[in-house]
Structures are given as C-alpha cells and as structure tokens.
C-alpha cells in the first residue's frame, strides 16, 4: 500500500511541475508577441509620418518647379525680345553706315560720267583733251568699287575654326583648305554639292606634292597657287595644275622675315588673292614694317610685275582681298567684334582711302581667317570660326580723283 501511495504522490508532483513549466513558457511567448506587436505599431506610425512628410515635400517641389518654369518662360521671352532688339539695332547700324559712307568725288577738270561710257561730258579745248587722255591712261579696264554688302548667306559649318574656302572664277568647283597648314585640299563640284555634303569627306581629297603652310592660297583659271614657308628659307609660291596634278612652276619671294601680313592672323605670312585683273600677293616686308605691301604677279610665270606700299597698317588686320585692283583691308579687335573695312588702296590711284566707302560686315561669330573674292559672281567667300559664309557685294563705278 505504501509503494502505491508514493507512486501517486510522485506522479502528482511531476504533473504539477510540468504545469508550472508550460505556464511560464506560455507567459514568455505572450510577452514576446506583445513586444513585437508594439514594435510593429511603432514602425507603422513612423511609416505614416515619413509618408506624410514625403507628400508635403512633393507638393513643395511641384510648386517650386512650377515657379521656376514660369520664371524660365518669362526670362526666355525677355532674351528673345532682347535678341530681336539687337538684330533691329544691328540692321539700323548697317543702314546708317550705308547712308553715311563717305562719297567719292571728282575734280572739276575730270567731269567723269557715272553712267554710260567713260568720257568727257563736254570737251572745250585741247588742254582738257590732253588732261583726260593722261587720266584715262592711269585707269585699268576694271572700273568698279564696292559700295556695300548686299546680303549674307551662312552656308554651313565644317572643319576647324581656321581655314579657307574659295571657288575658281573660271569654273564651278569649290576648294576647301582646313586649318592653317596641311598637304591636302578638298574639291567639290559646286557650292551646292559642298552645302549638301556631310563634311569634308564628301568631296574629292587632293594630295599635294608639298605641304602648304598658310591659309593664303588662291585658285585661278584651273591652277592652285600655294604658299610654302620654312624656317630660315624664303617664301615660295607654287603653281599646281589641278587637271594634271603636277607642279608646273614655282618662284621664290625674298622677304626679310616671316612676319605675318595680318596682325590678328599670325599664321598668314603671305596671302595670295585673285580678282578681275589676275593674281596678287599681300605680304609684310619685315617685322618692323607697319604696313601691308602688295605685289602684282604674272599668273603664267609667277614673275613680280610691280610692288606697292598700301599704307594700310598690319596691326589689328584680320584679312584682305582685292577687287578691280583695289585692296580692301578688314580690321577687328583682339576680342572679336564686328569686322570692318577700314583701309582701301587702289593701285591706279583712282580711289583714295579717305574717300572710299568704308563698310562693316554683319556681326557673326568671331573673326575672319580668310576672305576670297570671286570676280565672276561679285561675292566673297569667308571663313569665320569654322563657318563658311558668302557675302554678296554691291558695286559702283570708280570716280577719278
């Protein structure tokens, strides 16, 4: 009996201990779940608070963006209005400059007619006839001078900021020199083909037998006239036949130094230009020489026929061109501004620089690296900061001084 009682007591005790154990475990788990619920509730409140702050920030950002968009629209309208006013002022300046250009005048003894054939309006005696014959002998067949720039056409932008492009007056072909030196030139069949090309690779690349070292080349009557210049050597003019691809002639042009002919374009030691009367060469006689010199060349033999001191300063000059035996020197500033023709020299003394019509080029991008005149079209081919520009010119008759 006693063993049975002890077994019952032991069993009851075991059951009571297990009950306390499981009850403690349940209490522990319940407390942990309550702590997790509290944490979840705290996270939920934090999420709602951050979400509300984010919505408020979005609203503030949207308001700020709308304000900036409105301010941008107002500023853009102001800029467009300012640009329109600047263009209007620019046109007015061009108009005023064309109106206020100095007028050339004729002496009483000349009595030259601006229209019709050259001649005396009336001949009153032998002295006047002799005087007219003497004056007439000084004037070449070309009797035109530039009076204004009629229009401007920006053809395209290709190549580097400096270069040269021109058209052969005797054909429709266009030639492009990219940079200030090289051993090749790009040929296009016409201005239209050049404008439609994707770049220089759209034309025919002509490899030259020697490297040109100045953007002062000229194309005339199927020949390419190049300038070659090396250290401690005289400047050399090379005549290259574009049809046969051969050098047909070359001539040394002795110079005291390699001084640049234009103060704002130091790469241009010599500038070859062509006009109605043939081939010309612009150069500087030396570093100490302040003026630009002009030489008339024979296109066939490259012989120098005559030399002049144009009395046009090299300082602040950016380019020059020749029309009907008259040199027009274009000036600018170190910080590129409006290009202007400020000095004119006529080899026949038919035009004085002080009385020639001085005009401005329309404001564009920077300063011209080159300006090449085409006598068949009466227009200039300009290279301005990588842009290829065509200027159409208005001409008038020269008046004898």
Average of per-residue pLDDT across 269-274: 89
Average of per-residue pLDDT across 182-195: 92
What does the mean pLDDT of the chain come to?
Answer: 80
pLDDT at 383: 93
Q: Are 289 and 259 in contact (CB under 8 A)?
A: yes
The closest alpha carbon to 180, from 167, 195, 194, 163, belongs to 163
Q: What is the pLDDT of residues 18-50, one digit of tens each?
A: 777 777 788 888 888 888 988 898 888 888 888
Distance (Å) of CA 119 to CA 110, 348, 352, 369: 9, 17, 21, 41
Backbone phi, then psi, for 277, in 5-degree steps? -100, 0
Share of the chain above pLDDT 90, in %: 28
Q: Is the pLDDT of residue 387 over 70?
A: yes
pLDDT at 164: 93
Q: Are 175 and 163 in contact (CB under 8 A)?
A: no
- How far from each other are the two terminal CA atoms of the chain, in whole angstroms? 161
pLDDT at 206: 92
Q: What is the pLDDT of residues 335-373, one digit of tens each?
A: 877 888 989 998 887 776 566 777 888 877 778 999 999
pLDDT at 225: 93
pLDDT at 91: 61
């Amino acid at each position: 009996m006693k063993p049975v009682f002890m077994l019952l007591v032991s069993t009851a005790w075991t059951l009571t201990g297990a009950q306390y154990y499981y009850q403690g475990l349940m209490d522990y788990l319940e407390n942990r779940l309550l702590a997790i619920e509290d944490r979840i509730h705290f996270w939920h409140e934090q999420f709602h608070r951050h979400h509300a702050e984010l919505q408020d920030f979005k609203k503030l950002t949207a308001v700020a963006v709308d304000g900036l968009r409105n301010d941008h629209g107002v500023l853009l309208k102001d800029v467009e209005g300012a640009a329109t006013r600047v263009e209007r002022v620019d046109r007015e300046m061009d108009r005023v400059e064309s109106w206020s250009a100095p007028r050339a005048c004729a002496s009483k003894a000349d009595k030259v007619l601006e229209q019709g054939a050259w001649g005396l309006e009336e001949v009153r005696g032998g002295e006047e006839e002799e005087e007219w014959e003497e004056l007439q002998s000084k004037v070449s067949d070309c009797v035109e001078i530039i009076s204004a720039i009629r229009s401007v056409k920006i053809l395209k932008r290709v190549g580097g900021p400096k270069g040269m492009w021109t058209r052969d007056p005797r054909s429709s072909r266009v030639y492009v020199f990219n940079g200030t030196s090289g051993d090749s030139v790009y040929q296009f069949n016409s201005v239209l083909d050049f404008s439609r090309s994707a770049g220089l690779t759209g034309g025919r690349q002509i490899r030259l037998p020697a490297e040109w070292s100045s953007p002062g080349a000229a194309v005339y009557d199927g020949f390419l006239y190049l300038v070659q210049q090396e250290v401690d050597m005289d400047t050399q003019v090379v005549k290259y036949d574009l049809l046969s691809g051969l050098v047909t002639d070359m001539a040394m042009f002795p110079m005291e130094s390699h001084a640049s002919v234009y103060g704002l374009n130091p790469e241009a030691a010599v500038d070859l230009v062509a006009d109605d009367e043939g081939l010309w060469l612009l150069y500087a006689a030396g570093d100490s020489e302040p003026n630009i010199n002009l030489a008339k060349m024979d296109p066939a033999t490259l012989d120098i026929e005559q030399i002049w001191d144009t009395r046009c300063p090299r300082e602040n000059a950016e380019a020059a061109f020749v029309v009907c035996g008259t040199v027009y020197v274009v000036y600018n500033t170190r910080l590129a501004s409006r290009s202007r023709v400020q000095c004119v020299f006529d080899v026949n003394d038919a035009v004085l620089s002080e009385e020639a019509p001085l005009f401005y080029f329309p404001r564009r991008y920077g300063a011209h690296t080159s300006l090449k005149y085409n006598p068949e079209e009466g227009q200039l081919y300009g290279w301005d900061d990588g842009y290829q520009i065509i200027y159409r010119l208005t001409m008038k008759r020269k008046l004898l001084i």
